[in-house]
Structure 1
């Protein structure tokens, strides 16, 4: 959602502002139950009443959007004077702190220029290096050594909390680093019973980050607004369960919006089945992104181009007769086929 919000503001050339709500955490720990009344404009209004926030926006003829996470707010819109008017209205309700143009949001550093917007987590990476004691080590050139397969091991770590804490931090770092999404997916499988081998692999990832702490994702301002996606699957590669791995990435023009690497929930009996399960996951993500686009009044051109490198998937989504031989993946086949018939995707 955050990446879509920033990519949209970049494509439209809108200003990206940041607000902070004062006194959001005024009090410390409470020992008794506390009941709060939500502020006016938060709850759904009764028939005949008008939400204060909506009423304040009636005179604003252009588009405005807010992205709220607890007390941190990103604000963008098509006219700067409307943004300033909304800031003044919110300040009258909550007493906000105007932080100007967004530069640091939820641990993500935002750099804006005329060519586009760059997102990275350099400070976050440097903190990880300092906590793990690897600041002075030689950086690794690749995220993971070639040819290594992580499996369950009886050689358990004496302090598994260290591994879990590091993996949790690396998972959040995946927000701007798709280059090691697969590696983090592999490492996160063993948070319950990590071994010293898994810990060494996680430290290798940190050493790789040392060589590229400022790497991130760039959202170009000069780009088309077409949504397209790439889907792939790694069939039966988990040595412990023989489950396949789903991978996809979704672009809005030249802006990378969403990506994921995830182990499939069931065992696929063929590479085509694994690919189709990956396609189904990608289609669901595309559907969710179109819902966000509708909320932001951003038109999405249909059908969405969906790229797949498995020729066996074509007969299954074009011809329903083939489903008689693939009843074990019937739901995924029909999901992708129905979206194709609706004109939502084009494989």
Structure 2
């Protein structure tokens, strides 16, 4: 019902947006924030000076199900027409690394508290800071407040903020302070990093993003690949090879790099292909396409590791032999494969061993 009153299409031009009531409302809200924050003062254009043009940017924000939950509109200056130290001086936007986000979520799961999110309505309008800010030496985007044995964590990702606390009063105080000082939207539990918070832990999934990039680069109707890259054919510079569209190649690499946030199995293949972004050849594009074909393969990856006490001594990772229709089924396949594999391994080792001597025990 909520999505039915929002625009489902992202306008490409202002003339199209002006025909959509939801887009007009979002544009009016953007201009209102400019007025409230005193972003600019209208003056006469000086002689022999050229004004910097502006541009409306339209973007629909979707939830993990792909449903439009917000029509976002931004009025921005055209950056390529500006000159540093003339039109602007220092520009800074705190962006948390994905490793920091994962560490944040791991700690939240360990401490068993829920992570929430806030969205700043006008990210770059709060530029003047009179207060002195103390940031950490390692992560400039993480803010911590301790109260005896409890803790409040706040992580900033441009115009999105995630936060959580082991103490309800700390959480309420922070939420109230942000609401009073800034124009923000309270978004509820964290979902924008494709995070799912459950009773048994916090999970990161980019399944929806995989479907989007497969559709974007037209890999929805191709044969799948069982591995992200060929094991027998090394990736070389190929100076005499035929050149390909460098912008397409870089776009594909960029889309895949974002996916490594939750897919370490393709990290090596992507990094190998990324080395040739300056002058990509047909052979390099072929290897990038193979990664996409690998992503289309719906077979899950079975992974396992064995510990002796708290020491890691063995691990494995391989594709499952069947296609699972659900994550639960994939987990059962992985557990069955793991147990079967090690029972066969133990049986084989037992055939090669002699009977233990008296007074010795088998581990």
> Per-residue deviation at 1:122?
1.6
The partner residue of 2:294 within 208, 217, 229 is 208
> What's 1:16 paired with?
115
Separation in 2, partners of 1:3, 1:91: 26
> Per-residue deviation at 1:212?
4.1
> Per-residue deviation at 1:63?
0.3
1:130/1:229 CA distance change after superposition, 3 Å: farther
> What's 2:231 paired with?
146
> Per-residue deviation at 1:80?
2.9
> What's 2:258 paired with?
172
Q: Which has the higher contact order (CA 8 A, sep 6+)?
A: 1
User: Is 1:7 equivalent to 2:93 in the alignment?
Assistant: no
1:68/1:216 CA distance change after superposition, 3 Å: farther
Structure 1, unmatched stretches of 5+, are: 27-34, 45-52, 218-225, 231-347
> Per-residue deviation at 1:40?
3.8
1:214/1:175 CA distance change after superposition, 3 Å: farther
Query: Mapping of 1:261-280 within 5 angstroms?
Result: none
The partner residue of 1:191 within 259, 272, 277 is 277
C-alpha deviations, 1:214-235, integer Å up to 9, x for none? Answer: 9899xxxxxxxx89899xxxxx
C-alpha deviations, 1:261-303, integer Å up to 9, x for none? Answer: xxxxxxxxxxxxxxxxxxxxxxxxxxxxxxxxxxxxxxxxxxx
C-alpha deviations, 1:154-206, integer Å up to 9, x for none? Answer: 21323111111111111121111111111112111111111111101101101
Give secondary structure in 1 for the equivalent of 2:280: coil
Separation in 2, partners of 1:164, 1:104: 25
**CA contact 2:224–2:296 (8 Å) conserved in 1:** yes
Separation in 2, partners of 1:2, 1:180: 20
**CA contact 2:146–2:152 (8 Å) conserved in 1:** no
> Per-residue deviation at 1:143?
1.4
**CA contact 1:121–1:173 (8 Å) conserved in 2:** yes
Give secondary structure in 1 for the equivalent of 2:244: coil
1:215/1:97 CA distance change after superposition, 3 Å: farther
**CA contact 2:244–2:280 (8 Å) conserved in 1:** no
TM, length-normalised to structure 2: 0.50
Give secondary structure in 1 for the equivalent of 2:287: helix
> What's 2:222 paired with?
137
Query: Mapping of 1:119-134 within 5 angstroms?
Result: 119-134=204-219
Separation in 2, partners of 1:216, 1:64: 36
Separation in 1, partners of 2:146, 2:103: 26
TM, length-normalised to structure 1: 0.52
> What's 2:350 paired with?
none
C-alpha deviations, 1:133-161, integer Å up to 9, x for none? Answer: 11122322221222120001121323111
User: Is 1:38 equivalent to 2:129 in the alignment?
Assistant: yes
> Per-residue deviation at 1:131?
1.4
Structure 2, unmatched stretches of 5+, are: 1-99, 136-142, 304-309, 315-363
Aligned length: 202
The partner residue of 1:63 within 151, 159, 177 is 151
1:39/1:7 CA distance change after superposition, 3 Å: farther
Separation in 2, partners of 1:227, 1:13: 25
**CA contact 1:122–1:214 (8 Å) conserved in 2:** no
User: Is 1:112 equivalent to 2:211 in the alignment?
Assistant: no
1:183/1:136 CA distance change after superposition, 3 Å: same
